[in-house]
Structure 1
Amino acid sequence: MTVNRLIQNLEHWKSRAVGNWGVWIEDLTSATTWAWNETKSFYAASIIKVPIMVAVYKQAFLGRLALADEIILTAEDQVGGTGVLQHLSPGLRFSVQDLTTLMIIQSDNTATNILIDLLGTETIRETMDELGMRQSTFHNKLMIVPAAPAGLNMITAADVARCFRHIAQGKVVSQHASRQMVEILKKQQLRDCLPTGLPSQHGDIIGWLPEWELAHKTGMVTRTLHDAGILFTKSRAVVMVALSEECEYEQAQQQMKQLARLVYEACLESD
């Protein structure tokens, strides 16, 4: 599939899209980009956990914390929503590395809030600024919003794409840290959005290399569903960001599936 054909297909997808969308598709190997409403602000939901992860690795690189440092879980830390820590016993110890991993692969809100307390709001904002996420904002911990908040956690598709692009290109903290973050993102357990548009990885041969991998993060609240990450095929690396609002979950999920399929098929023909 040629670039022009892919763009035509994406424009056709756009013409049929239900709800409000912010989309960024970027082939990092050819620098080809297609975007729609890329500067529109959306409530961040759990996508905010990606720059928080970057901030953790940045502070570890600077020697201000160690990934092996242990933090004691308290009852005050435990909040609802996604994640397993809310169900575990206070007093358990978890390393910063473990908390970061849980924040991404399970989208654990308790782990996220512990890391926010550890880092501090200003450190996270500084990291977002360094990533070029200057149209995005961070104000609040998750599941704990003040009665009179100073602001909301907001993102744009262009900003999220910058974050993932820098990670993919090894420009975040260090190449080693970027590689570690990509490996964590590949293990995300919430797989019902962009991955549903990609072919099954099941095969009869043990050890066979996968046809694709997706390092991504999903975020959702009522009538808001996001998924963003890096699609890796044999010879392509594509940043995909799909932010949606004012759309029923099943509709948004189906549209993300279609979007991922269009991108993957274009990659397949290029490989």
Structure 2
Amino acid sequence: MQVFIKKRLRGRQVLLYVAMLGLGAALGYGVAFAQMSLRERAFVSSFHPLRADDSLPLVHPLLAYETPQATTLPEYAALKREVEDLVNEKLRDGTTESISVYYRNVESSRWIGVNEDTVYYPASLLKVPLMIAYFKAEESDPSLFSRRIVYKSISGGADFEAPSELISGRSYSVKELIERMIVDSDNGATFTLFDRIDPDLLAGVYRRLGITDPGDDSSTYQIPTTMYALFFRTLYNGTYLTPSASERALETLARATYQEGLAAGVPAGTVVAHKFGEHVVAEDGVPKSEELHDCGIIYKPGHPYFLCVMTRAKTREAAVSVISAVSKLVYESESNE
């Protein structure tokens, strides 16, 4: 009887020991799970949708999806290091004051940036949302693009602006004016179109993408690469305009005559749907530096991507050199495959 009792006690001790081991493991797992859960929640919370601010009662259109920077993936971490090295090299030579780069794989939405949140004067980059506003207006007014408007030329265009083919005082269709505004960066066409657009419609383009509206005076307006990218992202996704209208808008951007920035860094014949912007930074009326930017979608065969390079440099030549060098590096990088 005593042997039996001792055996039962030893058995209970073994069970208690096993139970304690199990409890310890469970507690350890629980703590690890809780910690992992916090990390996961932080990661998941960095994903969020950007939806159109429409008044439709039953639908809420998805325009784009915000995702965290993809530097946890080896290939994107490598690409970021390559871009950072080039940016730092260009900054060290003293001819460039500020460089920001934003790269995004438009198919996977994975992206990397270098100084991507620094703000700049967009200048002619704002011709893209104006074009988008006209395409949006066309949805409810199909005859809009054939309507004719009297063109008013203006003096003092950007140095990269192609000579205008339009004659002041002559009427042109909205379609022709949009093409000249985007393809040749014609400022006269821009102001002619700006004077005729419904301000609420243009403001709606910014509002629905969550971007601050510059209003009537864009002289003090600044924007980072990440925010500006939204105009091109929604065009590529066909989520703000109709897919056919988005295609027409990107086709117009792909015919831009300016070829000294992003286009100079990729092989000849590569489709680049892009827009440049140029702004002279002055103090007391004296030019101190120049901002030059080029942003768009590079249709690398089998691997299209968005690239935006914004710069502030002492000379225009220095800015051009930076943009074309970044474009070439990104296109040729083994990490961009």
Aligning the two structures, in what range does the TM-score lie when normalised by the shorter sequence?
A: 0.7 to 0.9
* Corresponding position of 1:260: 327
* Corresponding position of 2:217: 140
Task: Classify the secondary structure of the residue corresponding to 1:5.
Answer: helix
Write the deviation string for residues 53-97 of structure 1: whole angstroms up to 9, x where unpaired: 100101111228611111122xxx22121354486242x221111
* Corresponding position of 1:33: 111
- In the alignment, is residue 224 of structure 1 matched against residue 291 of structure 2? yes
* Corresponding position of 1:167: 235
- In the alignment, is residue 70 of structure 1 matched against residue 148 of structure 2? yes
Question: d(CA) in 2 for partners of 1:122 and 1:235?
Answer: 39
Q: 1:61 to 1:28 in 2, by over 3 A?
A: same
Report if aligned partners of 1:83, 1:102 keep a CA contact under 8 Å in 2: no
Task: Classify the secondary structure of the residue corresponding to 1:67.
Answer: helix
Q: 1:152 to 1:233 in 2, by over 3 A?
A: same
Write the deviation string for residues 136-161 of structure 1: whole angstroms up to 9, x where unpaired: 624337xxxxxxxxx63332211111
| Structure 1 residue 219: Cα displacement | 1.1
Question: d(CA) in 1 for partners of 2:255 and 2:142?
Answer: 27
Report if aligned partners of 1:133, 1:163 keep a CA contact under 8 Å in 2: no
Question: d(CA) in 2 for partners of 1:226 and 1:269?
Answer: 21
Q: 1:83 to 1:113 in 2, by over 3 A?
A: farther
Question: d(CA) in 2 for partners of 1:121 and 1:235?
Answer: 39
Q: 1:22 to 1:269 in 2, by over 3 A?
A: closer
Q: 1:41 to 1:183 in 2, by over 3 A?
A: same
| Structure 1 residue 98: Cα displacement | 0.6
The 10-residue stretch of structure 1 (152-161 or 251-260) with the greater mean CA deviation from structure 2: 152-161
Question: d(CA) in 1 for partners of 2:276 and 2:117?
Answer: 19
Write the deviation string for residues 159-209 of structure 1: whole angstroms up to 9, x where unpaired: 1111111111111211011000010000000111111111233xxxxxxxx
- In the alignment, is residue 233 of structure 1 matched against residue 323 of structure 2? no
Report if aligned partners of 1:132, 1:163 keep a CA contact under 8 Å in 2: no
- The TM-score normalised by the length of structure 1 is 0.83
Write the deviation string for residues 213-261 of structure 1: whole angstroms up to 9, x where unpaired: 1000011132110100001111112111111124421111111111111
Q: 1:113 to 1:17 in 2, by over 3 A?
A: same
**Gap runs ≥5 in structure 1:** 142-150, 202-211
* Corresponding position of 1:61: 139
Question: d(CA) in 2 for partners of 1:255 and 1:4?
Answer: 21
Aligned partner of 1:129 among 207, 218, 221: 207
* Corresponding position of 1:213: 271
* Corresponding position of 2:100: 22
Structure 1 counterpart of 2:153, one-letter code: Q
- For the aligned residue pairs, the C-alpha RMSD in angstroms reads 2.3
Aligned partner of 2:183 among 83, 105, 108: 105
Write the deviation string for residues 27-63 of structure 1: whole angstroms up to 9, x where unpaired: 1123221113323221111000011110010111122
**Gap runs ≥5 in structure 2:** 1-73, 92-96, 281-289
Report if aligned partners of 1:225, 1:249 keep a CA contact under 8 Å in 2: yes
Task: Classify the secondary structure of the residue corresponding to 2:124.
Answer: helix
Report if aligned partners of 2:103, 2:111 keep a CA contact under 8 Å in 1: yes
Question: d(CA) in 2 for partners of 1:85 and 1:159?
Answer: 30
Report if aligned partners of 2:297, 2:305 keep a CA contact under 8 Å in 1: yes
Q: 1:235 to 1:138 in 2, by over 3 A?
A: farther
- The TM-score normalised by the length of structure 2 is 0.67
Structure 1 counterpart of 2:119, one-letter code: S
Task: Classify the secondary structure of the residue corresponding to 1:139.
Answer: coil
Q: 1:246 to 1:89 in 2, by over 3 A?
A: closer
Structure 2 counterpart of 1:5, one-letter code: A
Write the deviation string for residues 96-137 of structure 1: whole angstroms up to 9, x where unpaired: 111001000000001000111111444322211223323x62
Report if aligned partners of 1:83, 1:109 keep a CA contact under 8 Å in 2: no
Question: d(CA) in 2 for partners of 1:118 and 1:64?
Answer: 16
Q: 1:231 to 1:194 in 2, by over 3 A?
A: same
Greater than 6 Å deviation, 4+ residue runs? none
Report if aligned partners of 1:6, 1:262 keep a CA contact under 8 Å in 2: no
Q: 1:239 to 1:165 in 2, by over 3 A?
A: same
